[in-house]
Amino acid sequence: MMAVLLDSSPRFQLGFFPSTPRPPLTLMNNSQSSRFETRAIHAGQPHEPVTGAVMPPVFMTSTYAQDAPGEPVGDYEYSRSGNPTRAALESNLASLESGARGLAFASGLAASHTLMALLEPGDHVVTGNDLYGGTYRIFRKVFERYGIKFTFVNTGDTSEVAAAMTDHTRYVYAETPSNPLLHLSDIAACAEIAHKGNALMVVDNTFATPYLQRPIELGADIVLHSLTKYLGGHSDVVAGALITRTEEVAEELAFHQNASGGVLGPMDSFLVLRGIKTLAVRMDRHCANALAVAKHLEASDHVERVHYPGLESHPQFDLCRRQMSAPGGMVSFELKGGVPAGVAFATSTKIFTLAESLGGVESLVETPPSMTHASIPSEVRQAAGLMDGLVRLSVGIEHEADLLTDVELALGAAAAV
């Protein structure tokens, strides 16, 4: 694979953090261009050699002919172990995250499952107390049964991370920004703590995407994505990924991926590759719209609190400036009317669709305590600051004025409760 120094010029031109240098770009793979937008379109996807097809073919095959027993024609034997369309996506993801290798899975939770499969009974994970509900569920309801121990802390406070470390800690696992409170973790500082304790730093980069934040360049060892979200970008595929700093860790994960079989199919791989090609332009619009919506909410008399790291009122605004090139497309907030007001808001929008998930081109609204985070006990949610009246917005790429009008109408409905 080719490694080239990347261009470090600013990528974001819409006014976010204009006086702050972007996180440095260091290495890239599988593309001769040094710029993110070009690699998103071309990395891992040379023209098909037989026909010259511009898009990678969808290899709808389960198996591959062999010249002799144990001697495949190429690098492929069976599509659970490897498929050319999936390989193109995995190579593309490694390039975008500055990693050694990418692995694509049937869902984000399939990727999480494989990540945890590397652990043994008695191993320990330090992780966030503000996690996606499905991640919390698989940690507590699945892997705790097998003897894996978890300590849930505020990973935005490095003193809590350091205090939670033990001799058996194998991962420090952080979502940043977190789901749904948009808390940030200092990736470089947490990675330093992890490495001092002989643990690996794992970052769920789903909310930020590699366009806004590249954890491996900040010291992380493994990056996790729900490709269902921004990287796919069109609400038409369910997929996940792990990208590693080293080939050694990738080999371990690849063994478990093949052994357990939670791989991404070729058609879904093709759809994610197609989505990634427009990631840069989509994220520009997501971020611009989200900032406008967050400012509108913050100015409303009906809103108690807005969670968005691009607002100067956010307690980690300065950290956002340091490790992200823009604050992302997710906004969450609490209304003064509590749960009834939140429900009224979520059921009164016309453009924001009431639905789970996020990161598609269309705007979505949900109430996490009763939807995406319902698997977390109420007392645990509230201890982490996730109030029952919280509303989460995935701000799409529609026209800003239409989104603001929709928000204002929903605020009026919430105020009337």
Query: Over the stretch 244-255, which tens digit does the pLDDT of each residue have?
Result: 999 999 999 999
How sure is the predictor about 388, in pLDDT bands with cuts at 50, 70 and 90? confident
User: Looking at the predicted structure, is the pLDDT value of residue 282 above 70?
Assistant: yes
**pLDDT interval class at 1 (50, 70, 90):** very low
Active site residues: 80, 132, 204, 229
Express each pLDDT in 315-336 by its tens digit.
Answer: 999 999 999 999 999 999 999 9
Q: What is the pLDDT of residues 173-228, one digit of tens each?
A: 999 999 999 999 999 999 999 999 999 999 999 999 999 999 999 999 999 999 99
Residues carrying CATH 3.40.640.10, the chain: 36-276
Residue 7 predicted with pLDDT over 60: no
Q: Is the pLDDT of residue 58 over 60?
A: yes
Q: State the pLDDT confidence band at 345, using cuts at 50, 70 and 90.
A: very high
Residue 392 β-bridge partners? 332, 366
**Residues contacting residue 412 through CB under 8 Å, at least 6 positions apart:** none
- Structure tokens belonging to residue 185: 């973790």
Higher pLDDT, 44 or 24: 44
* The CATH number of domain 36-276 is 3.40.640.10: yes
Closest CA to 160 of 186, 198, 132: 186
State the residue for tokens 């080239």.
4
pLDDT at residue 24 in the model: 42
Residues of the chain with CATH 3.90.1150.10: 279-415
Query: What number is the average pLDDT over the span 64-91?
Result: 93
Residue 49 — pLDDT band, cuts 50, 70, 90? confident
Q: What is the mean pLDDT of the chain?
A: 90
pLDDT of residue 383: 67
At the second CATH level, the architecture of 279-415 is Alpha-Beta Complex (3.90)
For the segment 28-53, the average pLDDT, to the nearest whole number, is 80
